């Protein structure tokens, strides 16, 4: 199967409206403030100036969800407490109670680690986003962005392919149903929907953000990151969610990558100056290459004009995407079974207790769930595995070798700050080594958005943010999609 195209693996997603976030059916308030397309910084300023209340903000988004979600299906569930939380935030702001986190009282015991951090920072959880069912780890045949409960998520620009698996997160921020969102990536699930829905996605170094409480595929590859309309919003969200969570041990080791003073300091307009970027001319087998090619070249020219040094990377030793895909799927199959079983066992209450239970549940509900149509081949293959045998060990060794002798060597030999690729076509290389990547809007071809992706070594988020922000500010390509309604 084509890991990069058909089934970016992904997980759940939460939609967040930052710092208590207006309105009614118009987007401009009596105060003159416009919520549509507002950034986190715009909102904070508007709160300070009393131009905006959290209630207005949440009402605006709920209204947009009512209008647009029946078409685009980016939101699975709205948080029933969102308005109450907005009122609490407004009250707190009015009383300016120092250090009192009124919102903390509403934290449920099993919030995911990243959600806890967001709530503490004052975010209101607006709801859950739709995604490819089971992060696209049930059936290779199921369409990207489809789930039995959420229906088919649609790209608000084209009403077509949204890419997955964190499709709903990208759809929802693109269509202004929320301020910012989170997605999960195992291979491509943040980068690909960001690419297709013309938004910014950061796939952090594995372990930089806690995976605790998130339905897993692979502890070795899974990572949670922001999907937002701008690089600066994504940097603020990353700053909020990165850090140690003792429930996810990988965050302890990775915390060494977190820069003192956070990520916002890297939002520099001249961030491309002097950066060495490797242009990867492999992994182009994603969608229609020819139509991309000319525009990608133009974007490379922009990078050069802004002071980056481009180094052509024609080949990365040992790697081709077909052999990556084979080893990766061997590893993900056994990792999915082990980690999902552990996750389900840990739940206080659940109708299913194991992968075998999920498969049985799916069979029983096959009519309802279109199972006859899509099957559950990925789950069946995972269930057949039995821990780490010879083949699995070989697959893991393969990926370590490719990462160390391939990507890391190329980066070091050429003294690169990052690589640059069209689309999310490089996601598997970043996935198997736990490396970070950022997708930024790069254009529209016949109305279909596409992005440019920057990837780097572990912990290179500061550089990637500098590069991505500088590129975004040089191009300012993103345009909001048309309003979608029935």
Ligand X SMILES: *[C@@H]1O[C@H](CO)[C@@H](O)[C@H](O)[C@H]1NC(C)=O
Applying CB under 6 A, the span of 2-10, 265-273, 322-330, 469-477 interacting with ligand X comes to 322-330
Per CB under 6 A, 26 contacts ligand X: no
Q: Does 326 bind ligand X (CB under 6 A)?
A: yes
Residue 252 to residue 271: CA distance in whole angstroms = 29
Contact segment (CB under 6 A) with ligand X among 67-75, 131-139, 243-251, 326-334 equals 326-334
Burial of residue 274, with CB atoms counted within 10 A of its CB: 0-12 exposed, 13-18 middle, 19 or more buried: exposed
193 CB-near residues (< 8 Å, 6+ apart): 8, 10, 145, 162, 163, 164, 165, 166, 167, 169, 170, 171, 183, 199, 201, 227
Of 346 and 393, which has the nearer Cβ to ligand X?
393
- Interface stretch with ligand X, choices 116-124, 128-136, 137-145, 284-292 (CB under 6 A): 284-292
Q: Does 218 bind ligand X (CB under 6 A)?
A: no
Least distance (Å) between residue 481 CB and ligand X: 21
d(CA 195, CA 201): 8
What H or E segment, with its residue span, contains residue 430? helix 427-433
> With respect to ligand X, which residue has the nearer C-beta, 161 or 469?
161
Q: Is 122 left (phi over 0), alpha (psi -120 to 50) or beta?
A: left
**How many whole angstroms separate alpha carbon 118 and alpha carbon 112?**
10
Residue 403 is a binding residue for ligand X (CB under 6 A): no
330 binds ligand X (CB under 6 A): yes
Residue 27, Cβ neighbours under 10 Å: how many?
Answer: 17
**Of the two residues 295 and 354, which places its CB atom closer to ligand X in the complex?**
295
Stretch that binds ligand X, among 190-198, 230-238, 287-295, 457-465 (CB under 6 A): 287-295
Query: For ligand X, which is the closer residue by CB, 298 or 391?
Result: 391
Query: Rounded CA gap, 331 and 339, in Å?
Result: 12
Rule CB under 6 A: is residue 288 a binding residue for ligand X?
yes
379 binds ligand X (CB under 6 A): no
395 touches ligand X by CB under 6 A: yes
Show contacts with ligand X in window 74-103 (CB under 6 A).
none
Choices 56-64, 107-115, 324-332, 409-417 (CB under 6 A): range interacting with ligand X: 324-332
Q: Determine if 366 is a binding residue for ligand X (CB under 6 A).
A: no
Question: Minimum distance between the CB of residue 378 and ligand X, rounded to whole angstroms?
Answer: 17
Q: Which is nearer to ligand X, 326 or 366 (CB)?
A: 326
DSSP string, 73-98: --EEEE-TTHHHHHHHHHHHHHHT-T
Stretch that binds ligand X, among 142-150, 260-268, 285-293, 307-315 (CB under 6 A): 285-293
Residue of 30, 97, 247, 391 interacting with ligand X (CB under 6 A): 391
Which residues are registered as beta bridge partners of 289? Answer: none
Which one of residues 50, 323, 386, 400 is an interface residue with ligand X (CB under 6 A)? 323
Contacts 24+ apart (CB under 8 A), 287-290: 287/5, 287/423
Cis peptide before 165 (omega within 30 of 0): yes
Q: What angle do CA 64, 70, 73 make, to 5 degrees?
A: 90
Residue 144 gets the label, from left (phi > 0), alpha (psi -120 to 50) or beta, of: beta
Rounded to an integer, what distance in angstroms lies between the CA atom of residue 168 and that of residue 174? 10
Q: Are 461 and 238 in contact (CB under 8 A)?
A: yes
95 vs 317, beta carbon nearer ligand X:
317
Q: Is residue 387 at the binding interface for ligand X, with CB under 6 A as the rule?
A: no
Looking at the Cβ atoms of 327 and 473, the one nearer to ligand X is: 327
394 binds ligand X (CB under 6 A): yes
Q: How far is the CB of 11 from ligand X (least distance, A)?
A: 24
Query: How many residues belong to the site for ligand X (CB under 6 A)?
Result: 11
Rg (CA), the chain: 21
Report the interface residues with ligand X, using CB under 6 A: 288, 290-291, 323, 326-327, 330, 391, 394-395, 398
């Amino acid at each position: 199967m084509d890991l990069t195209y058909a089934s970016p693996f992904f997980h759940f997603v939460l939609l967040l409206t930052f710092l208590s976030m207006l309105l009614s059916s118009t987007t401009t308030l009596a105060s003159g403030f416009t919520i549509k397309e507002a950034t986190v910084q715009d909102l904070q300023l508007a709160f300070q100036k009393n131009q905006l209340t959290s209630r207005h903000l949440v009402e605006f988004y709920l209204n947009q969800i009512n209008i647009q979600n029946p078409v685009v299906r980016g939101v699975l569930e709205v948080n029933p407490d969102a308005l109450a939380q907005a009122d609490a935030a407004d009250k707190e702001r009015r009383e300016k109670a120092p250090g009192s986190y009124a919102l903390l009282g509403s934290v449920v015991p099993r919030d995911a680690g990243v959600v806890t951090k967001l709530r503490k920072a004052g975010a209101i959880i607006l709801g859950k986003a739709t995604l490819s069912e089971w992060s696209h780890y049930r059936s290779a045949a199921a369409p990207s962005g489809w789930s039995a409960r959420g229906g088919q998520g649609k790209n608000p620009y084209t009403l077509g392919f949204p890419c997955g698996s964190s499709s709903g997160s990208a759809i929802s921020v693109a269509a202004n149903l929320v301020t910012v969102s989170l997605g999960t990536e195992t291979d491509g699930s943040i980068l690909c929907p960001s690419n297709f829905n013309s938004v910014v996605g950061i796939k952090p170094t594995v372990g930089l953000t806690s995976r605790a409480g998130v339905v897993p595929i692979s502890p070795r590859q899974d990572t949670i990151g922001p999907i937002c309309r701008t690089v600066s919003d994504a940097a603020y969200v990353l700053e909020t969610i990165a850090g140690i969570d003792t429930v996810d041990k990988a965050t302890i080791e990775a915390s060494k990558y977190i820069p003192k003073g956070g990520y916002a300091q890297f939002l520099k307009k001249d961030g491309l100056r002097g950066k060495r970027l490797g242009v990867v001319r492999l992994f182009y087998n994603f969608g229609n290459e020819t139509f991309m090619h000319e525009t990608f070249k133009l974007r490379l020219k922009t990078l050069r004009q802004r002071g980056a040094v481009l180094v052509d990377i024609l080949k990365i030793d040992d790697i081709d995407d077909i052999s990556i895909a084979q080893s990766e799927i061997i590893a993900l199959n056994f990792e999915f079974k082990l980690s999902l079983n552990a996750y389900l066992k840990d739940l206080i209450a659940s109708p299913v207790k194991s992968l075998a239970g999920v498969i049985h549940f799916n069979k029983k509900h096959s009519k309802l769930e279109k199972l006859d149509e899509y099957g559950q081949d990925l789950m069946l293959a995972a269930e057949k595995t039995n821990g780490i045998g010879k083949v699995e060990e070989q697959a893991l060794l393969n990926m370590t070798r490719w990462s160390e002798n391939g990507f890391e060597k190329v980066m070091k030999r050429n003294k690169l700050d990052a690589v640059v690729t069209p689309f999310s076509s490089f996601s598997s290389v970043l996935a198997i080594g736990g490396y970070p990547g950022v997708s930024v809007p790069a254009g529209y071809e016949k109305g279909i958005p596409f992005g440019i992706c920057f990837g780097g070594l572990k912990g290179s988020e500061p550089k990637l943010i500098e590069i991505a922000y500088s590129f975004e500010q040089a191009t300012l390509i993103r345009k909001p999609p048309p309003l979608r309604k029935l």
